[in-house]
Chain A
Amino acid sequence: MNSPAKTTVASKSIGASNKFTPRAFITRVCELPLWSVLVLVCLVLVGLFGPVISPHDPNAIQLLKAHASPIFFGGSWEYPLGTDQMGRDVLSRLISGARISLLVGFAVVLGAGSIGTVLALAAGYFGGAIDAVVSRVCEVFIAVPFVLVAIAIVGAVGASITNLVFTLIFMSWAGYARVLRSEVLRLRELEFVKLAKVAGCSDSRILIHHLLPNIVNPLMILATLQLGATIVIEASLSFLGLGVPPPQATWGAMLSEGKDFIGFHTSLVLFPGLAIFVVVLAINLLGDWLRLRLDPRFRQ
C-alpha cells in the first residue's frame, strides 16, 4: 500500500475498561443479590438431593403421631416441623414439594420460553401474514382467564404432573411471544441487521446468528420472573385440587389440606405458605436484579 492508514489507536487504550482486578471483582460480586442466590441454591440442592436428605418418607401415614408440634413449640427433633393430620412429616413433605415446584417450574419455563421465542422471531422478522396470525392467537391466549382453562383441561384429561406441565406451557407461551416479538421488531430496524442483508446473509442466518443472541437477555429476565409466577400458579392449582394429584406432596396441596386446621395447628399452613413466599420473593428479586444488569435501557 502506498499510504498505510496511521494506526490511530494504541493497543492499550481499548479494552482497558474490562480488565480483571480483585477490586472490580469484589465490587461485582457484592452487587449480586446474595440472599436471593442463597435461597435458590438451597432450593436447587433440595430439589436434587431431596430423597437423600429427607428424614422420613413424605407419604408415610402414622395416625398415632398426627398433629405433632414443630420443634420450637415443644415438639421433638424426630419431626422438626411437626406432622400433619395424617401423621406425615411436614419437613419431608416440604422437601418433596420443593422437587415438584422446581420440576414443574423449569419444565414450563423451558417449554413456554422455547415456543414463545420461536414464534416471536418468526412473527417479528417476517411480519405480514405470519405476524398477523401469531399476534391474534397470542392475544386470545393472553385474554382468556387461565384458571378456567386449567379446570377445563384437567376436567377433560384428568390431573397428573404431565398434564399440569402441558397445561401451564399451553397457557404461558403467549406472554413470552408478545414481549419478545416487540424486541425483535426493535432489533430488526437496527443497522447491523440491514448490513447483514447487504452482505448476503440468509434469513436463517440473520435469525439465528444476529437476532437470537440479542434476544437472550430479555428472555432470561422474563424466564426468571416467570419461574416465580409458575410456582405460584402450580401451588394455586394444587390448592384447588387441579394440580398434581395426591398422595404426592406439593406446597399447594399442603396449604389446601392444612386450611382446615388453621386455628388449631397453624404451622400446617404456615410452613408451606412461607416456603412459597420465600422462594418466589427470591426469584423475583433475582429477576429484577437481572433486568437492571442486562437491560440496556435501564443502564445508567
Chain B
Amino acid sequence: MMTTSAESSRVLEVRNLYTSFRTRRGVARSVNGVSFVLERGRTLGIVGESGSGKSVTLMSIVRLLATPAGRIENGEVLFEGKNLVTSSETEMRHIRGSKISVITQDPMTSLNPVYTIGNQLEEPIRQHQRIRVRDTLRRLAVGALQSVGIPAPEDRVSSYPHQMSGGQRQRVVTAMALACRPSLILCDEPTTALDVTVQLQILKLLRDLQKEHGMAMIMVSHDLSVIARVCDDVAVMYAGRIVEKASVSRLFEKPAHPYTRALMRSLNAETDASGRLYAIEGQPPNVRNIGNGCPFAPRCQSVRSECREHFPHEIALSPGHTTSCWAVMEEAGITAPVRKSV
C-alpha cells in the first residue's frame, strides 16, 4: 500500500480508542472514542480534569495500563505506521524508552531512591543502545545532565534523587526520557507538582529540547496556561471524549464548545456582573455511569434535548478546528460531519 506524504510525516495516529477499567462497582469507560493525529515535530496538548481520561489515553498509547482491570477495548494506535494495540509485549518493550518516552507528574516516584542519578541515566542507554563500556556510559550521562541545564554535572552524576530539588529531579527525568532520542515524548502533567516559578523553567526546557531534536510531543495537563505556553495544537477532553480540537491560538481566540469556554473563564479568573467568579455548576463526571449522550450535558448552559440522547458527531468550524456540540452545530449552521482522514 502506498503511503501518502501526509501520512509519512505523521508520527502518531489514534483512531477510535476505547479504554475501560473493570472495577468493583462496574466498568468505567475512561476513554470513549478518542481520535487524533500528531505530525512530526509538533506538540499536542490534551487538557481535561479528573475523569477526563487524558492520562489513560497516554497510558493506552504505550500500553502501560494497570492490568487486568484496564483494557483497550477497541481502536488503533498507529505509531510510525505500526499498530501498537496489536503489538506484542516484546515489541512494546523495544519501543518504550527508545522510540516513545514518558515523563510523568511526580518526580519523587519517577526516580528510584536507591540508585544514583548517573546509574538511572545510564540504564536506558544500556538497555536500548547496548553500550556497555563504563566510561562511555558515564560520559553520556554527564552530557545528558548538561543538556538539561544541571550545573556541575560531573559531581551531580553520583548523587541520589533525595539530594536534589523537585525541579532538578524533573530535569533528570527529562534527560532520561531523551537519552535514546525518541521520536515521540508523552508528558503527563510534568509540571503540576512543581512550584510555579520552576514550572516555567521546565516547560522552557521541554520546548527547547523538542525544537532541537525535532521530536513530537503530547503534553497532558489540567492547566490551560501550561498548554498555551508549549503546545501547537490542543484537544479538550471531558469524561473520555474529545469535545474540541484546534490550534492553540485558535482555541484562545474562538473557543467553541461550552466546556472550553467555561475553562477559559476559569483560567482568566473572570467575574460576572455581581463580582463572583464564573463557575461551572455541578459535579465532575462519573465515568462508570456514562450513557450515550454528551457527558457535559448535566452542567452545560446551552444544553438541548438531543444532548442527553446522542453524543454529537464532530464538525469542522474551520480548517484544523473541530468540535462536537449540538448547540454549536445549530448556531453555526454546520451539520456535515468531519470526513475521517484516510
**Interface of A toward B, CB cutoff 8 Å:** 3, 6, 8-9, 13, 17, 300
Contact = CB atoms under 8 A, between A and B. Distances in A.
Contacts of A13: 283
B69 A17 contact: no
Closest 10 CB pairs of A and B: A8-B281, A300-B69, A17-B25, A300-B23, A8-B282, A13-B283, A6-B281, A300-B24, A9-B283, A8-B283
Interface string B307-336: 000000000000000000000000000000
11 contacts: A3-B274, A6-B281, A8-B281, A8-B282, A8-B283, A9-B283, A13-B283, A17-B25, A300-B23, A300-B24, A300-B69
A300 B24 CA distance: 8
Interface in B91-146: none
**Chain B, interface SS category:** loop
A159 B23 CA distance: 53
Contacts of B282: 8
Nearest to B289: A16
A8 B281 CA distance: 6
A13 B24 CA distance: 19
Which residue of B23, B69, B283 has the most chain A CB atoms within 10 A of its CB atom? B283
Interface residues of B, number: 8
Given A8-B283, A300-B69, 5 more contacts: A3-B274, A6-B281, A8-B281, A300-B23, A300-B24
B231 to A, nearest CB: 32
Contacts of A9: 283
Interface of B: 23-25, 69, 274, 281-283
A6 B274 CA distance: 15
B188 to A, nearest CB: 21
A17 to B, nearest CB: 6
A13 B283 CA distance: 9
Contacts of A3: 274
A296 to B, nearest CB: 13
B189 to A, nearest CB: 22
A40 to B, nearest CB: 24
Contacts of B23: 300
Nearest to A9: B283
A13 B281 CA distance: 14
Contacts of A6: 281
Contacts of A8: 281-283
A164 to B, nearest CB: 42
A300 B27 CA distance: 13
A9 B281 CA distance: 9
Nearest to A24: B25
Nearest to A31: B24
A32 to B, nearest CB: 14
A247 to B, nearest CB: 51
A8 B284 CA distance: 11
A6 B23 CA distance: 33
A9 B298 CA distance: 11
Contacts of B25: 17
Contacts of A17: 25
A13 B288 CA distance: 13
Nearest to B274: A3
B233 to A, nearest CB: 33
A249 B283 CA distance: 64
Contacts of B283: 8-9, 13
A8 B69 CA distance: 32
A194 B205 CA distance: 39
Nearest to A13: B283
A9 B299 CA distance: 11
Contacts of B69: 300
Nearest to B21: A300
B303 to A, nearest CB: 15
Nearest to A6: B281
Nearest to B66: A300
B59 to A, nearest CB: 16
B277 to A, nearest CB: 13
A293 to B, nearest CB: 10
A300 B23 CA distance: 7
A13 B299 CA distance: 13
A17 B283 CA distance: 15
Which residue of A3, A6, A8 has the most chain B CB atoms within 10 A of its CB atom? A8
A300 B68 CA distance: 11
Nearest to B288: A17
A291 to B, nearest CB: 15
B74 to A, nearest CB: 23
A6 B24 CA distance: 33
A17 B28 CA distance: 14
B311 to A, nearest CB: 21
A300 B26 CA distance: 12
Nearest to B26: A17
B274 to A, nearest CB: 8
Contacts of B274: 3
